[in-house]
């Protein structure tokens, strides 16, 4: 049976199970404890008529806050079947399912307390990007496979011709230097094109900023923004040597968004075929995976800075 006490002294195993180093886990745990206390107070104490105090009766399997955080991080990182998850943590599949949905909400609250979640409102994106202190950003879309819907209309809606599979899709906007996700679009069916998501959400950027994008966003030109995009080869012609060199330069600068997306997908819940069917959960897990990437990036940037000062 997995417990925090059993794995905490093995850093390599701990990283493989959670995606975090022990020191990063300890930092997240403080916010997670506060979020858990808030959740209990809101859902079980305030305004509730109770026959006995909260905490009475049989004790839960996940008795410590460390075990709760380990449970939900392991689920996001490894994405096992819930029957397997329950077996590993000494509970039934039904109990595992209930804990997954409860602790996912608490984990989101913890990341929100640490200001690691991306912006979700398009009208607030320019303000959020300006607050980052950076002027160069990159945008890209990312798709995740999901189980094939049973309904015929939903099958058509979720089928992505590009991936030849049923998918859901998000756009992300990242800072090029800090490599943090500052904006996450809504979650859309795989049939919808990346640029169409931008057209519908109409997110704005700070005046005078530079935006790197690929040819999938051809025609996406937000007001007051310098667009850096590779030039498409004309039909029947070739690009000049100068144009090819410029395309390579743009690709080297834009590749940061691909690295960030790979960081998001360290959580296998947004990499493997998505199996959960609860409405809205596909969007929630993507937001949490982005928050975990931002948290990891900030922790390791601080560690590098401290190491540089020490040397």
| Average of per-residue pLDDT across 43-48 | 73
Contact present, 296 and 24 (Cβ < 8 Å): yes
50 pLDDT tier (thresholds 50, 70, 90): low
User: Where in the chain are all domains bearing CATH 3.30.420?
Assistant: 122-310
**Structure-token pair, residue 280:** 């809205």
pLDDT value, residue 296: 98
pLDDT tens digits, 186-215: 999 999 999 999 999 999 999 999 999 999
To the question of pTM greater than 0.85 for the whole model, the response is: yes
pLDDT > 70 in the chain, percent: 96
DSSP string for 48-86: ---SS-TT-SSPPSS-SHHHHHHHHHHHHHH---HHHHH
pLDDT tens digits, 143-182: 999 999 999 999 999 999 989 999 999 999 999 999 999 9
pLDDT value, residue 201: 95
pLDDT tens digits, 76-100: 999 999 999 999 999 999 999 999 9
Q: Average pLDDT over the chain, rounded to whole? A: 94
Which residues are registered as beta bridge partners of 142?
Answer: 170
Angle, alpha carbons 269-272-277 (nearest 5°): 65
Contact present, 61 and 91 (Cβ < 8 Å): yes
Q: How far is CA 309 from CA 121, 299, 302, in A?
A: 38, 16, 11
Residue 54 has pLDDT above 80, yes or no: no
Contact present, 131 and 206 (Cβ < 8 Å): no
Residue 56 has pLDDT above 80, yes or no: no
| Average of per-residue pLDDT across 275-302 | 96
CATH 3.30.420 fits 122-310, yes or no: yes
47 pLDDT tier (thresholds 50, 70, 90): low
Which residues are registered as beta bridge partners of 211?
Answer: 137, 227
Residue 218 has pLDDT above 70, yes or no: yes
pLDDT tens digits, 226-245: 999 999 999 999 999 999 99
Which residues are registered as beta bridge partners of 92?
Answer: none
Contact present, 220 and 135 (Cβ < 8 Å): no
Distance of CA 303 to the CA centre of its chain: 22
DSSP string for 197-251: HHHHH-----TT-EEE--GGGTT---TT-EEE-PPPPPTT----HHHHHHHHHHH
Least confident of 43-47, 111-115, 141-145, 194-198: 43-47
3-state secondary structure of 6: helix
pLDDT value, residue 263: 97
| Average of per-residue pLDDT across 35-55 | 78
């Amino acid at each position: 049976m997995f417990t925090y006490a059993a794995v905490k002294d093995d850093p390599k195993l701990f990283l493989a199970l959670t995606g975090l180093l022990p020191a990063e886990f300890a930092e997240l745990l403080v916010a997670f404890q506060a979020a858990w206390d808030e959740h209990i107070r809101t859902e079980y104490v305030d305004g509730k008529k109770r026959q006995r105090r909260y905490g009475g009766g049989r004790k839960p399997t996940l008795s410590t806050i460390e075990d709760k955080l380990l449970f939900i991080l392991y689920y996001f990182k490894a994405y096992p079947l819930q029957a397997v998850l329950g077996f590993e943590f000494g509970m039934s599949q039904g109990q595992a399912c209930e804990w997954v949905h409860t602790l996912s909400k608490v984990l989101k609250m913890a990341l929100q307390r640490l200001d690691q979640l991306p912006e979700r409102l398009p009208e607030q994106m320019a303000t959020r990007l300006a607050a980052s202190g950076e002027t160069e950003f990159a945008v890209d879309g990312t798709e995740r496979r999901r189980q094939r819907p049973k309904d015929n209309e939903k099958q058509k809606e979720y089928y992505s011709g590009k991936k030849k599979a049923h998918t859901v899709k998000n756009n992300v906007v990242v800072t090029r230097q800090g490599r943090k996700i500052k904006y996450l679009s809504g979650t859309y069916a795989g049939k919808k094109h990346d640029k169409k998501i931008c057209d519908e959400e109409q997110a704005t950027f700070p005046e005078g900023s530079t935006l790197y994008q690929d040819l999938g966003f051809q025609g996406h030109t937000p007001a007051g923004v310098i667009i850096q995009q590779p030039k498409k080869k004309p039909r029947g012609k070739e690009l000049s040597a100068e144009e090819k060199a410029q395309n390579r330069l743009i690709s080297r600068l834009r590749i940061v968004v691909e690295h960030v997306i790979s960081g998001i997908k360290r959580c296998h819940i947004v990499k493997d075929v998505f199996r959960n069917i609860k409405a809205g959960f596909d969007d929630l897990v993507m937001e949490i995976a982005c928050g975990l990437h931002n948290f990891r990036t900030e922790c390791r940037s601080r560690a590098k800075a401290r190491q540089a000062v020490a040397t």
